[in-house]
Amino acid sequence: MTHPIIPQIIELADPLAKELKLEIVEVVFQTNKQPPILRIDIRNSNQETGLDDCEQLSRALEEILDQKEVIPGSYVLEVSSPGISRQLLSDREFSSFKGFSVLVTTTTPYENHQQWRGRLQGRDTETVYLNQKGRTITIPRQIIATVQLDG
């Protein structure tokens, strides 16, 4: 379940990220930690996401979050790149990583395979679509265990 403060944080972070030519990939607020941790994963669509990207967004966002007093009390802000072994979960992630190489693992064999590699084309309510050397592969979502970015 998403923390109710997340939409407000995205509303503040998104314009800052766009200004820095970055994209917000995921926002998680971990209230079970002391102090709570606000983790924001970003992606630079023009080049590999670097430490400078994370630092710039972190500084800009920290200032506005403190100014607007969005999070009461102390918290830790972590801005990072989602990394290459990142599992895709949300519609937003599937949209953001369209065209990227992914590894799809199924719970049971599908067409004699339990792992599929290809370029992510997208997903709908029933199917994940991959491109393998110009051929579209369709995998039913109900048997998919994981979809993660692949090297």
Which residues of the chain have a pLDDT value below 70? 1, 82-85, 151
Element at 80 (helix H, strand E): strand 76-80
Q: What is the pLDDT of residue 151?
A: 62
Q: What is the pLDDT of residue 138?
A: 96
Q: Convert the pLDDT of each residue in 23-66 to its tens digit.
A: 998 888 888 888 888 989 898 878 888 888 999 999 999 999 98
The two tokens of residue 51 are 């430490």
Q: Report whether 42 contacts 25 (CB < 8 A).
A: yes
Instruction: Write down the pTM of the prediction.
Output: 0.57
Q: What is the pLDDT of residue 80?
A: 85
Q: What is the pLDDT of residue 150?
A: 78
Q: What is the pLDDT of residue 1?
A: 56
Q: What is the pLDDT of residue 116?
A: 93
Domains of the chain listed by start with CATH number: 6-80 (3.30.300.70), 91-149 (2.30.30.100)
Tell me how far apart the alpha carbons of residues 111 and 25 are, in angstroms, rounded to a whole number. 32
